[in-house]
Amino acid sequence: MRRISSLRARLLLGILAPVALFIVINSVSLYRQSLAAATTAYDRTLLASAKTIGEQLDVEGYDEAASLRAIVPYSALEAFEADNQSRMYYRVSAQDGEMISGFAELPFWHGRLPNRPPYAALVDFYDAEFRNMPVRVAVLLQPVAGAHGRGMAVVQVAETMELRETLARKLLIDTLWRQLVLLAVIAGVTVLVVQRATRPVRELGEAIAARAADDLSPIEAPEAPRELLPLIDATTQVMGRLRRLLDHQKRFVRDSAHQLRTPLAVLKAQVQSARRGDVPAAQAWGEISETVDRATTLANQMLSLAKVEQLRQQPESVALDLGETVRDIALDLSPLVADKALDFELSTAPSPVRVLAHRWMLQELTRNLLHNAIKHSPRGAALVVRVEADGAAAVLTVSDAGRGISDELRQRLFAPFAAGDVASGSGLGLAICHEIVLALGGSIALDNRESGGQIVGLDAVVSLPLARDNRQ
């Protein structure tokens, strides 16, 4: 089952996720900076204690022969111990590591001074372990000079980490809860803004859901934000297409019921008459067969008209050669041409004349035009069909030698069931042609052909857009 995605969830995730990531990164950075600042402050305390011890040293002798003496009571370090949370230890040694004073268990320093020390004094800081406890150690190389000598002492001061760890935890907790409060505020504001921003979408959905099932009128949303206008316009267009499709279906059902009722009633009467023997059997069967043929033709044409509307909703089409289609249909209808002994002429362009169309629609258009022309042409008359390219249009002209049409009939001839000869047609052929031409973006016209002031025939002219690759 496909999970439905929420627009509000996407907006919230898209806003809060980067903010939360930034807050986490900022919290880590702020914590590290605060911890580095605290470490520097406590290292200054260690350095101060080392200097205090160095000031209490004495020396006899010079350089390598110097003998250092130190009288450093432990109480001298109490001033640097804070709230009894940490302990401090010291060791004073000669440069060769010889113990002078302090805690002998504290390992002698074997490191070296940094290239760029943070202080002017010769000092180094490092982490170590003393008496199974982590400690921070400051090492000061203290020159010692007096009236009786000169030498160099190594002063080490170690401090346990309780106070530093407590401060680090406090910094971390303070940083986290402040950032969490900030994140909560941002989340609350974001939720409120997203709720307000998506309210027009919910209101629009509720308005559409509250409509009646047959209400396909355009959507009125004058207060909708600009971002929703493309969706509203597209929905209105879809509803307009649905309305036209439903209107067409209603009209088709209504016209079908009306038009099929007559031949079926006639067929029923003819069957009853044949049963009673009112007319000879051969005549009765002929009348029944003729009625069945007319009803079949009518049903097929109504289905064709419905299929045109169906294909109109499916814009997929291919580039087809109009001349080739006309030749194929003319070959199919050649028995009708031969039956009336017509002087048939087909003229096509030397190069393909391609149009974008459904194959069935193009064939049905040509079939209906040729069939009408053959039906209304006098026996032995001329029937001319021409296919040519005229600029950006493909033009199909069917010229017969029939009686032409009146101006009154011209106004309604493309409407369904508006037959020029009620006795010989259903009035759907030209309606089908008209719907196909409109679906293909073209035009169709019926023009009387005159000579000497007399109507000598009818020209059916269809103009369709040429396919893009066929344009000059």
| Residue-level pLDDT at 346 | 92
Q: Name the pLDDT band for 464 (thresholds 50, 70, 90).
A: very high
Q: Using alpha carbons, select from 207, 260, 237 the residue that is nearest to residue 313.
A: 237
Asked whether the beta carbons of 107 and 135 are under 8 A apart, the reply is no
Q: When comparing pLDDT for 120 and 213, which is higher?
A: 213
Q: Which backbone phi and psi does 391 adopt, to 5 degrees?
A: 70, -120
Q: Is the pLDDT of residue 139 over 50?
A: yes
Q: When comparing pLDDT for 221 and 83, which is higher?
A: 221
The residue out of 255, 289, 312 marking a domain boundary is 312
Task: Classify residue 192: in a domain, yes or no.
Answer: no
Task: Classify residue 277: in a domain, yes or no.
Answer: yes
CATH number for the domain spanning 398: value is 3.30.565.10
Task: Find the domain containing 101 and state its range.
Answer: 7-170
Cα 207 from Cα 70, distance rounded (Å): 92
Task: Classify residue 182: in a domain, yes or no.
Answer: no
Q: Look at the chain and report how many structural domains it folds into.
A: 3
Q: Name the pLDDT band for 370 (thresholds 50, 70, 90).
A: very high
Residue 35 sits in the same domain as residue 126: yes
Cα 465 from Cα 312, distance rounded (Å): 16
Residue 346 sits in the same domain as residue 272: no
Task: Classify residue 179: in a domain, yes or no.
Answer: no
Residue with tokens 């069939």: 371
Asked whether the beta carbons of 259 and 302 are under 8 A apart, the reply is yes
Residue 353 sits in the same domain as residue 446: yes
Residue 345 sits in the same domain as residue 418: yes
- pLDDT by residue (tens digit) across 318-328? 888 999 999 99
Residue 156 sits in the same domain as residue 15: yes
Task: Classify residue 18: in a domain, yes or no.
Answer: yes
Residue 361 sits in the same domain as residue 408: yes
Q: When comparing pLDDT for 243 and 261, which is higher?
A: 243
Task: Classify residue 224: in a domain, yes or no.
Answer: no
The residue out of 122, 155, 170 marking a domain boundary is 170
- pLDDT by residue (tens digit) across 80-107? 555 566 788 888 888 888 888 888 888 8
Asked whether the beta carbons of 86 and 162 are under 8 A apart, the reply is yes
Cα 272 from Cα 266, distance rounded (Å): 10
The reply to whether the predicted model has a pTM over 0.85 is: no
Q: Using alpha carbons, select from 206, 208, 238, 204 the residue that is nearest to residue 221.
A: 204
CATH number for the domain spanning 120: value is 3.30.450
Query: Over pLDDT 90: what percentage of the chain?
Result: 11
CATH number for the domain spanning 244: value is 1.10.287
| Residue-level pLDDT at 472 | 46
Task: Classify residue 247: in a domain, yes or no.
Answer: yes
Per DSSP, which regions of 116-254 are E strands? 123-130, 133-146, 149-160
Residue 351 sits in the same domain as residue 465: yes
Cα 71 from Cα 121, distance rounded (Å): 22
Secondary structure percentages of the chain, helix, strand, coil, to 5: 50, 25, 25
Lowest mean pLDDT among 21-35, 277-291, 435-449: 277-291
Residue 236 sits in the same domain as residue 338: no
| Residue-level pLDDT at 79 | 54
Distances (CA, A) of 150 to 60, 67, 120: 7, 9, 21
| Residue-level pLDDT at 412 | 67
The residue out of 170, 186, 208 marking a domain boundary is 170
Q: Using alpha carbons, select from 199, 202, 219 the residue that is nearest to residue 211.
A: 219
The mean of the pLDDT values for the chain is 80
Residue 302 sits in the same domain as residue 324: no
Residue 161 sits in the same domain as residue 15: yes
Residue 290 sits in the same domain as residue 384: no
- pLDDT by residue (tens digit) across 279-317? 787 887 887 888 787 777 666 766 666 666 666 666 667
Residue 280 sits in the same domain as residue 362: no
Cα 189 from Cα 200, distance rounded (Å): 18
Task: Classify residue 189: in a domain, yes or no.
Answer: no
434: three-class secondary structure by DSSP: helix
Cα 165 from Cα 78, distance rounded (Å): 20
